[in-house]
Structure 1
Amino acid sequence: MTADTDALRSHWTHLYREHLPALAKARDPVQKVWPVYLDHCFARIVLDNAVGVTTPWTEVIKAPAVKHMSTGQLEAAILMAEGLANGEVNLREMDERSLELRGKKGKKRKTEVAEGNAAKRSKRARETGKGRTVDALSGEVELPDASSKDKQHEVDMSVQLQRIANSNITTFRRQMLTLLCEIPRGRYSTYQAMSDYITKTSHKTCARAVGSAMRNNPFAPQVPCHRVVAADGTIGGFNGHWGEQGKFASEKHRLLYEEGVRFDSKGKVKGPVFREFKM
């Protein structure tokens, strides 16, 4: 297993488990119709078309696919998934082709009905603030959006600030980690925004220095370094690795998504940068 293969597997996993379902749930206009919402449905569609091609993918490679795909198959799956995410590939057409390969074209699938009902229940629960919902097919718990009044995931930042103050780390790193505690749940900032604030109020620094100071955050995720992304809106670094190809990019996406932060079809974060630091 090579580092390149690991990176491809991580990127593929992020695309079908998080990125495409997030676009579907948001009804992103990149696709006119989102016939599916769940991660395993996106995996089926992409793998049937990119790996199986003329037959269901399960007849070409063993399950779980991510462990048995070759580098070429991973690259083909990623290319198609990215095409779906940016609108270059038509999801409905690929879904119909996948169903045809499986002898299900034109049939009313129970899974599609269940997906639609699960999505509606999830939306109602988020709107009414009733908390968690359970996915009808996978059984996985879906967390409410950050707009919910539910405070069960809030972290007591006074405790984290005390941990930082008592830690045996450099003054600059303490300053960076303390700033992180000011970024609210459901918001994000950038390395550049933090650098600009420090330069204006304390001493000259740069985005690279800020990133380095957070590279090994001993208090993550309670001290939320995952809420800081690159200046261009892309995912940035996490746990010592950089970008979408980074080993822990999927984990950073998961943390941000659970807090209500969303990315568009081009992989750029949505919403304004948090700059209201007061330290």
Structure 2
Amino acid sequence: MAALEELQERWRYLHQEYLPAMAAAKDPAQKQWTVHLDHCFARIVLDNAIGVDTAWTEKIKSPAIKNMTATQLQTAIDLAEKLATGEANLLELDQKSLQLRGKKEKKRKSDDTTSTSPNSKKLKKSMTVSSYFLPSPNSPSAKKEDKDDAPDDSMPKLPVKTDVDMSIQLKRIEESSITAFRKQTLSMLCQIPRGRYSTYGAMADWISKNSHKTCARAVGNAMRNNPFAPEVPCHRILAGDGSLGGFKGSWGEDGKYAKLKHDLLREEGSRFDSKGKVRGSPFRDFS
């Protein structure tokens, strides 16, 4: 099991940034996003994962993040990730949470009304936040060796947005409350062209030469939870030898999201050899 601090960081990211971002984007993982605020997602997940038959505040003291055990944190994380993939139904869990607290159920539009909305087809085809961080429920689970000459139709069809205005993304980064170093690394990602890749080391070298001394590990840690994905493409950063590197807290070909990172890069035009290493030289022309 991961260290307690890592679990706390993951839980904080999921309910404070990730799920609210999915709700704001009306991600099709859920038919109805019944809540949009971070504390509402925390209530729903903790009531169902920790409280179970009562409000979570009856089981642990507040704040939850400081008082949950590693096992409780992992349970909350697992349920939050199921919400993100659509394996868990947000509406049902929300209603159960309200019932546990003795509150009346919220009135919702029927699923039929939602599914026939004129915007429903657009939502399914639109770029989603979740597709960049969590495996799609429809993605094949079996691992296959990467083949450079594999036909395009053998790969999962992932929605990719090609007309991202990086000036807008740079403004989002600059106006955010993240640390100055994270702002610097995320801003550098905006310079990497679609179909190209760079490395943690290349970014660290540029920063050390032009700003202040740093290392590849520090760059990776700074990008670990990228709140501006998918528009700010952290998936375009690989290890120094051209291998996959890290993605959402896991590392290498055996990482939990390794296949997804491969698919994202190949969809953009990157190609890998039979050993899983990307072809071509890394992008280093940062400014």
The higher-RCO structure (CA 8 Å, 6+ apart) is 1
TM score, norm. by length of structure 2: 0.48
